[in-house]
Amino acid sequence: MSLNIKDIAKLAGVSPATVSRVINNTGNVNEESRERVLKILGETGYKPNALARGLIHKRTNILGIVVPDISNINFSELVKGIEKEARNHGYNIILTTSGNEFEKEIECFQMYNEKRVDGIIFSGTRFTENHKIEMDNSTAPFLVFGQDFEHEKLLTVNIDNNKAAYDAAMFLFSKGAKNIAMIGGPLWDRAAGYSRFMGFLSAAVENGLNPKELIYEEGDFTIKSGYRIMKSILNKKIVDAVLAANDFMALGAIKCLSDEGISVPDEVQVMGFDDNIISEIYNPSLTTVKIDFYEAGKICAKALINKINGIEVEKNVKFPYEIVVRKSTK
Amino acid sequence: MSLNIKDIAKLAGVSPATVSRVINNTGNVNEESRERVLKILGETGYKPNALARGLIHKRTNILGIVVPDISNINFSELVKGIEKEARNHGYNIILTTSGNEFEKEIECFQMYNEKRVDGIIFSGTRFTENHKIEMDNSTAPFLVFGQDFEHEKLLTVNIDNNKAAYDAAMFLFSKGAKNIAMIGGPLWDRAAGYSRFMGFLSAAVENGLNPKELIYEEGDFTIKSGYRIMKSILNKKIVDAVLAANDFMALGAIKCLSDEGISVPDEVQVMGFDDNIISEIYNPSLTTVKIDFYEAGKICAKALINKINGIEVEKNVKFPYEIVVRKSTK
DNA sequence: TTAAATTAAGAAAAGCTTTTCACGAGGTAA
DNA sequence: TTACCTCGTGAAAAGCTTTTCTTAATTTAA
């Protein structure tokens, strides 16, 4: 059914080598043969087998992507950016989702190794010994998005979470907040948990708050946990502003406050992280630290492809964020 | 750097054939050799090259996916379902987005052909001559999601759009509507445009409306077009219900009605299609025909993989929908 | 005219694995 | 003992393309 290069060669009355030379535009083929081959190529619609090509060149032009959940809009935007940029450079992507489970992540890495992808982009939260082993063994370069894992072979792309959280908290203070609580991520998440907490802490101390009395509770980035923690905070202390480590938790907090009859932003200001699509249409709309995942995806793809092609790249890329002011703050 | 099967063979003191037999559990290797090989495999972490394997078996265990836009929640759910089910069967997915552009779709098909994927899942709106040619030439089976294209080699997975629109309109009538307008899709979109219109038409006629006076306007599935068309409808005729061909347009319609001071659902009931995540949290929340894209994705993957493996499959799968009643209808 | 260089094109190897074929050893049945 | 099986194993081919190596033919330079 499917033709191969030998068939084409026979049809054109030349050798496979010549056909290959025509297809790849490596010189040394005279005009007449060239045209005969091109004619047959057009008629048959022959396409060279990428497997055989990959075997020779030790390249597949495929990037392997691992994200926790593609139906989370942040990650789908990220993947969209990666795919867009990758395709512009002649690369395709194999996509797998991990649900943030380590074993699945490791499985994916191994699969990508078998498939001989040219590079791997990984978005996850933890860096276990097994992750390290896979990266050590991998011939394909790794890029981690959204974390600052330290590994000699690793590229990372991330925002400066510490500074972003600091800026967000300072913004709340500038809007008259005196007592800010944080609905944070788990501290083992070094980026969205730990670093954002540290930024928050700096700003709080700078504004005269006592670090001992600071309210920080760990959620799991869901709307539900935001709701639950907001309720718990209300029982402990009177606050006039809440900084959440992502938009979902911020939205949960707003829902809780409105259920309790507390006005946002008049009595309590709320701020999130990410700029989820829902944050704009929610009522009240959410002030947040916008992270452009689509652009981030492009940056990831470009950096990794450069690395693959031996072009010098920055090892730890920081990309910009932006505070988007809406109705949940004064 | 990277080991191959010859290296493993040398280390274990056997031939490559024997190593292969151990890896693939094809019998005829005695226990002693087997253990020696396994030991080396464990120590080295060797993984066979999928390219070479694919070349021999004429199989890649990869499915190619083409969707218009991965950051549209419907498609990301679809892809998530596909990926989940595919992985359960030992397949991976290469993902490309087309923006609904024909040339890109065709390009993707050709790329998938070169990469020798085992099957292709395509979500698009039109079926041109070029699409047909690619499907004719493809050795990999095709599955189309969300359309009813006719082609001998084609599998399709879809809801019964005609019946669903009929049911939706009948639901509105049952809630007291007398004059229903439809904000539809373009009629060249045979599924979400044409078929949903036909279903709406049947229900309208059945309820004594004059087909000549029926209001149907074509939008492009965006919130904006829903808003614009709603406004246009209000200028033409008094209606007490609107059926939109998707949720985005329905939400646009609600926004328009509320801007005009018209109460939903008291004065005008609104209903959509899809059950977008936003539809639930919008105010008022939207009554809609829920399409479970995640399940649909699983169905697609399963059907296609069965086809690949020579298992008899239904050529045109219809999967269920469900009317979700919320606050935009009485 | 001879030597050197260039061009054109095929043969064959390489890339890595699986599978078929062939072969020897050991066992069983007649 | 002979004939036939089974088992375990390695050599080699096949899958498809690219690239290197050769060779032959033609052109250019001396």
Q: Quick one: pLDDT at residue A228?
A: 96
Strand partners, A65: A95, A121
CA distance B202 to B321: 19
For chain B, how big is the Rg over CA atoms in Å? 26
Q: What pLDDT, on the 0 to 100 scale, is given for residue B1?
A: 57
Report the candidate in B105, B102, B101, B133 with the shortest Cα–Cα distance to residue B121. B105
Domain ranges of chain B: 5-48, 62-159+293-321, 161-290
CATH match of B161-290 with 1.10.3720.10:
no
Q: Contact, B255 vs B231, CB < 8 A?
A: no
Q: Do the Cβ atoms of B318 and B164 come closer than 8 Å?
A: no
Do A163 and A199 contact (CB within 8 A), yes or no? yes
C-alpha distances out from residue B326 to A277, B4, B5, B116, B147, Å: 22, 60, 61, 46, 28
pLDDT for B214-258, tens place per residue?
999 999 999 999 999 999 999 988 899 999 999 999 999 998 998
pLDDT band at B27 (very low <50, low <70, confident <90, very high): confident
pTM: 0.92
Q: How far is B52 from chain A (nearest CA, A)?
A: 7
Mean pLDDT of A216-227: 94
Distance (Å, rounded) from C-alpha A121 to C-alpha A142? 6
**Cβ of A50 near strand C (distance < 7 A):** no
Counted across chains A and B, CB pairs separated by less than 8 A come out at: 105
How far apart are alpha carbons B282 and A262 in whole angstroms?
Answer: 21
CA B155/CA A148 separation, integer angstroms: 45
| Proportion of chain B above pLDDT 90, given as a percent | 83
Q: Which residues, 6+ apart, have CB-to-CB distance to A282 below 8 Å?
A: A251, A254, B281
Is the CB of A244 within 7 Å of strand D? no
Strand partners, A287: A271
Sheet holding A269-274, edge to edge: A216-218, A180-184, A241-244, A269-274, A287-290, A322-324
Q: What is the pLDDT of residues B12-21, one digit of tens each?
A: 889 999 999 9
A150-172 pLDDT, tens digit per residue, is 888 899 999 999 999 999 999 99
Distance B52 CA to C3 C1' (A): 48
Q: Given a cut of 90, is residue A280 above it in pLDDT?
A: no
Look up tokens 């087909």; give the residue: B211
pLDDT, tens digit, for every residue of A256-276? Answer: 998 999 998 999 999 999 998
B51 to A73: CB separation less than 8 angstroms, yes or no? no
Pairing of strands B92-97, A92-97: antiparallel
Shortest CB distance from A114 goes to which of B47, B278, B294? B47
Share above pLDDT 70 across residues of chain B, in percent, rounded to a whole number: 100
| Per-residue pLDDT, A172 | 97
Query: Would you call B26 helix, strand, or coil by DSSP?
Result: coil
The pLDDT of residue A284 is 87
Look-up of token digits 């997975």: B157
Q: Which residues of B touch A62 (CB under 8 A)?
A: 94
User: In the prediction, which pLDDT does B321 show?
Assistant: 96
Architecture of the domain defined by A62-159+293-321:
3-Layer(aba) Sandwich (3.40)
Judge contact between A67 and A123, C-beta under 8 A.
yes
| Distance set, CA B36 to CA B9, B15, B30, B174 (Å) | 10, 12, 10, 74
Computed over every residue of chain B, the mean pLDDT equals 93
Residue A61's φ and ψ, nearest 5 degrees, are 55, 35
- pLDDT tens for each residue of A114-135: 999 999 999 999 899 999 999 9
d(CA A67, CA B80): 11
Q: Would you call B24 an interface residue with chain A, using a CB distance cutoff of 8 Å?
A: no
Q: Which residues contact A321 (CB under 8 A, 6 or more apart)?
A: A159, A160, A164, A289, A290, A291
Report the candidate in B76, B63, B90 with the shortest Cα–Cα distance to residue A92. Answer: B63
Which chain B residues are within 8 Å of A66, Cβ to Cβ? none
Query: What average pLDDT does range A210-222 have in this prediction?
Result: 93
Provide the pLDDT confidence category of residue A2 given band limits of 50, 70 and 90. confident
**Beta strand pairing call for A287-290 and A322-324:** antiparallel
State how beta strands A62-67 and A92-97 pair.
parallel
What are the pLDDT digits (tens) for A35-90? 999 999 999 989 999 999 999 999 999 999 999 999 999 999 999 999 999 999 99
On the question of pLDDT at A1 being above 60, the answer is no
Decide the pairing of beta strands B180-184 and B322-324: unpaired
pLDDT in tens, B137-168: 899 999 999 999 888 889 999 999 999 999 99
Does the pLDDT value for residue B323 go beyond 90? yes
Judge: B1–A139 Cβ closer than 8 Å, yes or no.
yes
- Residue A73's contacts (CB-CB under 8 Å, 6 or more residues apart) are A276, A277, B71, B73, B76
Nucleotides of D under 7 A from a protein CB: 7-12, 14-20
The strand pairing partners of B316, in sequence order, are: B156
Pick the CATH number of B5-48 from 1.10.260.40, 3.40.50.300, 3.30.1280.10, 3.40.309.10: 1.10.260.40
- Decide if A5-48 and A62-159+293-321 have a common fold: no
